[in-house]
A and B are shown apart, each in its own frame.
Chain A
Amino acid sequence: MAVCIAVIAKENYPLYIRSVPTQNELKFHYTVHTSLDVVEEKISAVGKSLGDQRELYLGLLYPTEDYKVYGYVTNSKVKFVIVVDSSNTSLRDNEIRSMFRKLHNSFTDVMCNPFHNPGDPIQSKAFDGIVSGMMTQTG
């Protein structure tokens, strides 16, 4: 259901990025990259706006003609980005939320692995499995 899932480090370099293999990979890199500005904007808006939105889930970042981009940021400023197909209208906000939740849980496990070096690209098979599950699942 998701076409691209990315994890971006605090310093804004990719820790993990995967997209469906049939399509143009570079385009997704580009989409994710451009979404970072929106994420930054949402984070820095905390405290200024009226509704003090401090949830980890950032919601829909921006829609394009073909895709919808959703964002999530952890307390350690690691960003998760999920890109879904716009044609997939059945996908609810709640489902996206739970996908991020799952992703975050798995990411936490990766971070707590003593053999993983924080800041290195994610090479965990368990994490890979979770991501694959989200990409193939039909919504």
Chain B
Amino acid sequence: MELQAIIMAGGKGSHMGDLTDNTPKALLPVGNKPLIWFPVNMLEKAGFQDVIIVTLNSAKAEVEHCLKNCKIAVKLYGIPDDSETDTVDSLCLIKDDIKSDMLILSCDVITDLPLHKLADVHRLHDSTVSMLFCPSQPLLENLPGVKSKKKAQQKQREFIGMTQVRNFHQRVLFLLNEADLDDELLPVRQALMEIYPRIQVRSDLHDAHTYILKHWVLDYIKQNRTRSSFRSELLPYLVKKQFSKPRNNTAASISQLPDNSGDSKEEFVKDVTSYMNFDDDKIQINDLTLCTQKSQDNISCHGLIYDEGVCFSINSLSSYIEANRYMCRPDSIFYDVLPRVHQSCQLAEKVQVGTDSMVGERTQINEKCSIKRSVIGKDCEIGTLVRISNCVVMDRVKISDGVNIQGCVICEGAIIGEKSELKDCFIGYQKIVEPASKLSKESLVESSAMMEI
């Protein structure tokens, strides 16, 4: 087996605000499917036989339940909910199950990328890390529950320096966060420019949290536990280490150390590059070919920019709504896969459900309702004369008669009272909206969970 697929679904969704107060991120419904279904589906399509999923202990059972219909063999690992177990720690947890290079996906990626494209980059350049970049989506201007446009905070920009190698793939030269830069200056080393004199700086891309990682990196992180986040610590470290010289003196310095210094010292001395294992065959092949390039003896990070298809990273309320709207669209790649109106729904007479809407299982919709450009979850009850447009309604929501809602996100178990009119609102988990209330751009959530989105 060439690649071991791993899905990181242990995130609590800390950037998603109230959406994830009561639902783990992996189970948030998008187009009436839990988020985790999308990466699993992608792996299935790419022909993977099995997948390891790391998720929160509390969500384990539910994840297992919702993936029971998948053909792929799922191996679940739970991590404690309250602990600070980050992605790298999770990798350490499952290290014994990994025998090959890893394909690491985040549970929040929805894309139609044929995975072999990324694998091609990895194979062709023999790179340490191959990563996927997608064009960033602009933030929605009108977010439910957010009062002023000003509040939609400016996202921290990230500058990705890359250069073309062999005319079509990108080598990642630096990843810099705007916040880490002093004085509004972007420093670029002259020595780097000497090797790669043409560097494109992109700030219009985001990392789609899809990586292919060499197996030896696992050996490294097993020993060096200082970096706990893959995305924000390990990856920038690897990118930076690409151009530093392997320290060959490590072996010598270890032997010089007195024995009593113990193992800890040895780990400290070992450089990241010393973990790289060299394939003798590969070196020999390289020597035999006419290839002028020296055999890859250093860390290298390559990227693939996927801009011709769909790629969502569900990491904010804005992208969550975008993804839901996309699922409803007739040109969606999942149009045939996801049911529009489930067969088990009970639709009364004179109900209009647009072709651009979805209705989940066992939902009852009463007379004279109109539903446009919306996703309605499972087991909902919708009264008579209800108008819903541009909304995301999750499971088990009760909407009473004569309600008019536009552009809202309504979380699981909420109850909307009669004749209410809601516009651009965010209704939290199990909240109750009083009858005949008129709300605009309000956010109804637990007071303790008042967080900025």
Tell me if chain B binds chain A.
no
